[in-house]
Each structure stands twice: as C-alpha cells, then as structure tokens.
C-alpha cells in the first residue's frame, strides 16, 4: 500500500490557512466595530468617510437625514453647534462627528475616556474623505466631555508642515 505523499509542512500550512479564513472573511464582511452614520444622502464626502471605515473593518449602517432634523440629531447626541460637521455617527456609547480618522476612533475605544465622543469641526480639506492627505490642511480632533467642555485629542499638521 502506497503512503500519502503529503509532508508535515504542507499539513501545517493547510491548517494555518483554514484558521486564517474565518477572520479574513469577518473583515471582508465588515464584522468589526459597529457604527451607525446619520448623513445627508447627497453628501459625497460622507460616503467617502464611510468607505474608509468599511475598508478598515467597521460594520457601517447609514440613515438619511436632512437640515434641521440632522442638526437636532447632533444636539440630542451631545454635539455642540461649534463642533458640528456634515455627518454624525454613533459607536457604542460615543458620538463621532465629522471626518474623524479611524486611528483616533480606535484610540477612543481603547482608552474609553468619560466623553460624549470625538469631533472634527467643519470639513477640513485632507481629513479622511475630504481629499488627498498629501494636500491636507491642519486640523484637530476634539474630545467632547459630558459637561460640554472640549480638549484636543489629536492634531494633524498641514501636509506642507511636518507632523
């Protein structure tokens, strides 16, 4: 009777491949942190930010909202008017306002400060979803505290200025 020709190495590679498939499938299906984004359905930069989140493994749901209803949603979720941007998201107990980089969202989830959430006020050019990072203007990611006070959580210098 002839013995199988497989080697131990081939067997281990096969097992490793089988073990790697479920996590890769989960990433491809967006089974990461769940985030719900409320946005104007006609906003292209919001859609670009959502694409970035999905590419980074977030499971994203969206909801259409317009004008005063969208502003009311922001205020009801603790975003002060001066921190407003074009879209608002909910992630666990936090509110994410505007074009916040994924790295800062992940840091928020690791550090878990007592906060309403994070905001990138306005729509700074070169922030995620707002044009090429190579042409970025300087902006801050702001941590919003439950009492309404704010502090800089992260700063991004302009592309023409080194970080």
Q: Which two tokens stand for residue 98?
A: 């505007």
CATH number where 102 lies:
3.40.30
| 129 occurs within a structural domain | yes
Mean pLDDT for all residues in the chain: 84
- Residue 105 is assigned to a structural domain of this protein: yes
| C-alpha–C-alpha distance, residues 84 and 122, integer Å | 6
- pTM comes to 0.78
User: Per the structure, how many domains does the chain have?
Assistant: 1
Grouping H, G, I as helix, E, B as strand and the rest as coil, residue 129 is coil
Cβ atoms within 10 A of the Cβ of 89, count? 28
Tens digit of pLDDT for each residue in 11-68?
444 434 433 443 443 444 446 899 999 998 888 888 999 999 999 999 999 999 988 9
Is there a contact between 59 and 52 (Cβ–Cβ < 8 Å)? no
Could you report the per-residue pLDDT of 131-149, keeping only the tens digit for each? 999 999 999 999 999 999 9
Report pLDDT for 40.
86
Q: List the domain range (segments joined by +) for residue 78.
A: 8-156
pLDDT above 90: residue 79: yes
């Amino acid at each position: 009777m002839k013995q199988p020709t497989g080697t131990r190495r081939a067997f281990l590679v096969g097992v490793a491949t089988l073990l790697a498939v479920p996590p890769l499938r989960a990433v491809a299906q967006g089974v990461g942190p769940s985030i719900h984004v409320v946005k104007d359905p006609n906003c292209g930069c919001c859609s670009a930010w959502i694409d970035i989140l999905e590419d980074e493994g977030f499971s994203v749901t969206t909801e259409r909202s317009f004008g005063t209803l969208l502003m009311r949603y922001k205020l009801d979720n603790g975003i002060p008017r001066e921190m407003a941007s074009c879209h608002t998201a909910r992630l666990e107990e936090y509110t994410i306002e505007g074009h916040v980089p994924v790295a800062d969202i992940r840091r928020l989830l690791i550090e878990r400060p007592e906060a309403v959430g994070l905001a990138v006020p306005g729509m700074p050019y070169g922030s995620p979803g707002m044009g090429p990072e190579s042409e970025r203007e300087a902006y801050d990611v702001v941590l919003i505290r439950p009492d309404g006070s704010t502090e800089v959580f992260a700063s991004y210098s302009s592309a023409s200025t080194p970080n």
